[in-house]
Structure 1
Amino acid sequence: MKVQIYTMQTASEALAAAAAGVDCLGVTPSNRGLPGEISFETARGIVDALKGKAERVALSVESDLDLIADMVTAVRPDVLHLCGDIKLVTPQRVRQLRETLLARYPDLKILQAIPMTGPEALDHAAAFEPYCDTFILDSVAAHIDGIGAAGVTHDWSLSREIVKRSRLPVILAGGLGPDNVQAAIAAVQPWAVDSLTHTNKPLPEGGFRKDIDKIAAFVRAAKAG
């Protein structure tokens, strides 16, 4: 079972998470007020520090393909995580983006977020499947841009159905922590599991840092599951 953890804000934090056994580490290069967002420059420093230690993932909630490409050029992740509005970044636009980016970065992978809002998620996954390498099935919160960072679980039976139907590796996200990840794995049987909210340590002044002890517990539980 692979483990992905969001969102790294410093190189030291990322290296500690990698040392705890995390396979894929995510950064949020943005200026939109997203949880744990960092500058492109900081994200690039984290990506560089993690080379050879974990797969480096960078998300975008943008709908402008040029802005997404600019972020990839600046940060140079292994994986581009698309989690913007799928009504704006449609399957055909992902195809267009993929063709443009792979011409420049042939090893780049596309991780497409599927909003798990109901049975329509099955149709969304089928439509995006030809144009991406991996799915992440995530919850949605009205107060946060894009797909994810909601901190709540969704209908795992729908996630299980996508896993059964899809030829792509599937990452399960949404409200997962050390206490429920084994149940999630048993119910969905994904390729990987992802955690953001439930492996955070809130700061008194607002925001958060990662809780390395919770990350280590999450890794142990996921690998055992």
Structure 2
Amino acid sequence: MIRIKFCGTASLAEMQCAIDAGCDAMGFIMGVTHESSDYITPAETARMIRHLPPFIEPVAVTHLQDTEDLIKLVRESHCTTLQIQDTIEPPEIDRIRDALPYLKIVKAVHVMDESAIATAKRYEPYADALILDTRTNEKLGGTGIPHDWNISAEIVARSSIPVILAGGLTPENVAEAIRKVRPYGVDVHTGVKKDGVRNPERTLAFARAARNAL
């Protein structure tokens, strides 16, 4: 079954919206260095996680690159998965893992052209999963822009670790994306918003479309 992560959770209402849709993971955006919406502090994340039911994974999504900053962020937020959106040298991922042995580490690969295939292979031995996303000069994620799913499908076919698909997914296109790419999971942020906030109807529609895609 496809796994579903809702990213950019910034309030208890948005959290409940994703819980009601049956999410598997919840993304909290912290430590931003590029343009981003819905970012919160590690302390705010820690308070929200106290309201998270069992079996839903809290994910720290961050632009930070310094190893010690990343370790501090995880400890302060109490998240159990770390999603690194920006560049980091692969051996530094091992340093984070040594400091936080319980932590699952997801590395973002921005699918801008076929060079993403080699980038994915470079991080594969170090990360627990890859997330395929879209970026612009201003944004490292949350762009609302799909990328070339043919490249993403190639990465999934070659990968020995789970691959999560992100970037411009919506209730309207997620089923097609899943059938094309065959990812381990999907991740959505702006695609389930209405008037700037997570919308219950679109959130539920996204989850239903993703679950029924295969």
Which category describes the TM-score, using the shorter chain as reference length? Answer: over 0.9
Would you say 1:133 and 2:135 are equivalent positions? Answer: no
Q: Does 1:187 align with 2:189?
A: no
Going from structure 1 to structure 2, the CA distance change for 1:8 and 1:165 (only over 3 Å counts) comes to same
> What letter corresponds to residue 18 of structure 2 in structure 1?
A
Equivalent AA in structure 1 for residue 100 of structure 2: L
Q: 8 Å contact 2:31–2:64 — kept in the other structure?
A: no
CA contact (8 A) 1:31 1:38 kept: no
The residue that corresponds to 1:157 in the other structure is 150
Q: Residue type matched to 2:116 in 1?
A: A
Structure 1 CA distance, aligned partners of 2:168 and 2:50? 29
Write the distance in 2 (CA, Å) between the matches of 1:63 and 1:2: 27
Normalised by the length of structure 1, the TM-score is 0.89
Aligned partner of residue 146 in structure 2, secondary structure: coil
Greater Cα offset, 42-51 or 172-181? 42-51
CA shift for structure 1 position 53? 4.8
The answer to whether the aligner puts 1:35 opposite 2:31 as a matched pair is no
Aligned residue number for residue 205 of structure 1: none
1:67-115 deviation line (CA, Å, top 9, x unaligned): 111110101112100111x2xx12122222222222xxx2x10011011
Does the CA contact (< 8 Å) of 1:11 and 1:45 recur in 2?
no
Aligned to 1:98: 97
- Residue 75 (structure 2) pairs with residue 73 (structure 1): yes
Question: SS at the partner of 1:126?
Answer: helix
- Distance across 2 between alignment mates of 1:39 and 1:31: 10
Aligned-partner Cα distance in 2 for 1:129–1:100? 20
How many pairs were matched up? 211
State the alpha-carbon separation in 2 of the partners of residues 20 and 190 from structure 1.
20
Given candidates 168, 171, 179, the residue that maps to 1:178 is 171
RMSD, matched Cα? 1.4
1:216 counterpart residue number? 204
Match of 2:161 in 1: 168
- What are structure 2's unaligned runs of at least 5 residues? none
Superposition deviation, residue 17 in structure 1: 1.1
- Alignment deviations for residues 93-147 of structure 1 (CA, whole Å, 9 cap, x no partner): 2222222222xxx2x1001101111111111111111111111000111112x3x
Alignment check: 8 A CA contact 1:29 1:37 kept: yes
**1:31 CA displacement:** 5.5
Helix, strand or coil for the counterpart of 2:100?
Answer: helix
Which residue pairs with 1:20 in the alignment?
Answer: 21
The equivalent residue for 2:119 is 124
Distance 1:122 1:152 in 2: 19
Shift of 1:152: 0.5
What is the identity percentage for the equivalent residue pairs of Structure 1 and Structure 2? 31
